[in-house]
Structure 1
Amino acid sequence: MCEANAYLLKNGKEELLMEKIDKLVPHEGGFMLENIFGQRKFIKAKIKEMELVDHKIILEE
């Protein structure tokens, strides 16, 4: 599968934000995340790093 987990970087630590993301859409100063179950979450953040081989998206506010 090609889904990724999103983590929010807080105080130097990665906190799991959402699992099995298949869509990441830029939206009004942040991103709308959607997973394979149809759950959506909006976050005001920027992409710090994407590790595609490890299926990991790291965001920071």
Structure 2
Amino acid sequence: MCELTVYTLRGGVRDKVMTGVVRLVVHEGKVILESIFGDSMEVEGKISEVNIMSQSATIIG
């Protein structure tokens, strides 16, 4: 299975937000992250990149 590690990029600083992410939903200026374990989190911003090879996604805000 391909779980993602999601990062935010703000002011040139890249921070890890969540690991094991299997679903990303864009809704009203936010990205809702859902993990393989059923956890969820909302992050303000927009998806700038999803890289399946590195199993990562980046949200800019």
Shared fold per TM-score greater than 0.5: yes
Encode CA deviations 1:17-39: one digit per residue, 9 max, x unaligned. Answer: 00010010111211110001111
Task: Read off the aligned partner of 1:42 and give its amino acid letter.
Answer: E
Number of equivalenced pairs: 61
* Pairwise CA RMSD: 1.0
Q: State whether structure 2 residue 19 is matched by structure 1 residue 19.
A: yes
Q: Which residue does 2:60 correspond to in 1?
A: 60
Listed as ranges, the gaps of 5+ residues in structure 1 are none
- Following superposition, the deviation at residue 46 of structure 1 comes to 0.7
**Aligned sequence identity (%):** 33
Q: Is the 8 A contact 2:31 2:47 kept in 1?
A: no
Measure, in 1, the Cα distance between the counterparts of 2:59 and 2:26: 12
TM-score, normalised via structure 2 length:
0.89
Measure, in 1, the Cα distance between the counterparts of 2:10 and 2:29: 19
Measure, in 2, the Cα distance between the counterparts of 1:17 and 1:34: 12
TM-score, normalised via structure 1 length:
0.89
Encode CA deviations 1:2-61: one digit per residue, 9 max, x unaligned. Answer: 110100012212100000100101112111100011110011111111111110001111
